[in-house]
Structure 1
Amino acid sequence: MPAFDAILAARREAGLTQAEVAERMGTKAPAVARLEQALVTGRPSPSLATLNRYARALGKKLEVRLV
C-alpha cells in the first residue's frame, strides 16, 4: 500500500471523522479535508511536520525510511 494510502486508511481504522482529527490537531475540519485531498492528488505536498501532526492525532507515529 502506498504511504499516502496508509495514512488515509489510518483515519478510517481509527474511526475518527475529519472534525475529530482537526480538533486533535488544533485546526479546523476544512484544513484536514484539504490535507487529505493533497495526499490523494499530491498537490500541494504536505510538509513532514503536518503529516506528523496528523499521525499523532490518530495515535500513530510517522516514520520516514529510505530503504
Structure 2
Amino acid sequence: MTHSELREKALKRKKVKLEYDALEPEFSLLRELLKARQKAGLSQADIAELMGTKAPAITRLESSLTNGKHSPSIATLKKYAEALGCHLQIKLVRNN
C-alpha cells in the first residue's frame, strides 16, 4: 500500500479526518516556511546561521509543525521570516 492509499483510507474514518483537518493551520504554515526557504535557496543550516542558532533547532522548528508536540513562538517565527528576508503576517479569518 502506498502512502497516498493509506492516507486516503485513513481519512475515510471520521475521527481521523477531524484530527487531520484540525492540523491544517500547522501544515499550511509549514508549507509556507518550506516554500519560502526553498525560494530563497537556503538550507536549514543557512537559516540557522542567519538566526544565530544551530541547524538542529531549525529541523525541530520545521518538524514541530507536523508532529504537534510544540508550537513555535511568534518571536521564533518572526526570526525565521526575517532570515528569509520576509516579515511575519498573522491574521484572523472569520469562519463561514
State which of 58, 61, 65 in structure 1 corresponds to 2:87: 61
The residue aligned with 1:35 is: 61
Matched ranges for 1:41-56 at <5 A: 41-56=67-82
Deviation at 1:4, TM superposition (A): 2.7
Counting aligned pairs with the same residue, the percent is 54
> In structure 2, which of residues 27, 32, 36 is the aligned counterpart of residue 10 of structure 1?
36
Structure 1-normalised TM-score? Answer: 0.89
Alpha-carbon deviation of 1:39? 1.8
Moved over 4 A (4+): none
Q: How many equivalent residue pairs?
A: 67
Describe the superposition over 1:20-64 as per-residue Cα deviations: whole angstroms up to 9, x where unpaired.
100000000010111011122232010111000001011111010
State the Cα distance separating 1:11 from its structure 2 match: 0.6
Greater C-alpha radius of gyration: 2
Structure 2 CA distance for aligned equivalents of residues 33 and 47 of structure 1: 15
TM-score, with length taken from structure 2: 0.64
Question: Runs of 5+ in structure 2 lacking a partner?
Answer: 1-26
Ranges in structure 1 where 5+ consecutive residues have no aligned partner: none
The Cα RMSD (Å) is 1.4
CA distance in 1: counterparts of 2:57 and 2:80, whole angstroms: 11
